[in-house]
Structure 1
Amino acid sequence: MANTTNNDKRFYQLTLAIQKAINAIETPVKEKHVRSTIIGTFQEQSAITYWMVAIRQPLQDNRIVAWKFCHVTHKLLREGHPACLDDSQRHIGMIVDLGKLWVHLREGYGKLVHLYCNLLVCKLKFHARNPRFPGNMQLTADELDAIAENDVNNYFQLCVELFDYMDEILNLQAAVFDSLGNARANSMTASGQCRLAALIPCAQDASQLYDCNVRLLFRLHASLPADTLTGHRER
């Protein structure tokens, strides 16, 4: 009986944290609510409750809710329980549809939500193809070699996938900066910070992607003629 009560309480607290994190107020996502959501995935060892609550929020009706949903989902994929990556795969179609819905809102958050949805789908598909990559993308050089099985073809293909992932991050980053315009004061407003805050997990991903790609390019250059890798170097 006590266990049931504890589980109910935990479920209620997690639900509340998710609802508070993905709200309609144009301010940065509050770290304490995201942290509670992430801890909740470790307690449950899944993202099932997260998705059950998140998809009930007005994602199709409110641009801020949709934007914060993308930001919180990204944080969860990076820092939540490892099962979050698997549990989120079945929601790819919903994320694609959300991006398609908001792209019609030409200015402001419409384009940003569309690009963030593209990035989340790219990340989820990357992890589905490369399940040994953790959500935060942090790997040692030895782990990276083991994943690529010291095979030049695998290095080559993995490099392309990492470049594609990086492109999605750069597209989103450019659009966020564009949306702020020339007024630097924008970055000091709650509205500007709401958009900029999402670039933190993007920068964390990009840093790891860059490290992996540099390592892979060294491996490729040791095995292939330089002109074969011109495209890779340019990217």
Structure 2
Amino acid sequence: MSVNKNRSNTIYLNQLITNIPVRRKIVDHNDRDKFEWNQWQSATKSINNVEVSPKEKHVRNLILGTFRLEGSRLFWTMMTRINIESHPIITWKFCYIIHRLLRDGHQNVGY
């Protein structure tokens, strides 16, 4: 048994990152419109005055939207259109969604 001692166990960074797919930006306008519509649907369905917790699929869709856009600008523009102070349950759900976005969303959500 011979062991090749001339070989190092070092793995260089460029060897690791060659297989990582690059996150593509939204280029097509139809794709962008569909994405914004899906985000709006998730926001309005998760923040309503029904006394149940928001569905996880809508919250997850909002979280994934922050990663796709690398921030939360679209979310905040949507929240300006919702009357948050109109009902206590809507306010509570809004706070819950903000908590989840800050905890699980993209790192630029707070900006």
The answer to whether structure 1 residue 83 and structure 2 residue 108 are counterparts is: yes
The answer to whether structure 1 residue 23 and structure 2 residue 17 are counterparts is: no
Cα RMSD (Å) of the superposition? Answer: 1.2
Choose the corresponding residue for 1:66, options 91, 95, 101: 91
The answer to whether structure 1 residue 36 and structure 2 residue 61 are counterparts is: yes
- Runs of 4+ that moved beyond 6 A: none
The structure with the largest alpha-carbon Rg is 2
Identity %: 34
SS at match of 1:85: coil
* Higher normalized helix content (fraction of residues): 1
Give CA deviations for 1:150-205 in whole Å, capped at 9, x if unaligned: xxxxxxxxxxxxxxxxxxxxxxxxxxxxxxxxxxxxxxxxxxxxxxxxxxxxxxxx
Equivalent position amino acid for 2:99 in 1: H
Give the corresponding residue for 1:54. 79
1:64-213 equivalent positions in 2, closer than 5 A: 64-86=89-111
- In structure 2, the gaps of 5 or more residues are 1-26
The alignment of Structure 1 onto Structure 2 pairs a total of residues equal to 85
Equivalent position amino acid for 1:49 in 2: L
- Tell me which of the two structures has the higher relative contact order, counting C-alpha pairs closer than 8 angstroms and 6 or more residues apart: 2
Equivalent position amino acid for 1:56 in 2: R
Distance 2:30 2:86 in 1: 34
- In structure 1, the gaps of 5 or more residues are 87-235
TM-score by length of 1: 0.35
Give the corresponding residue for 2:35. 10
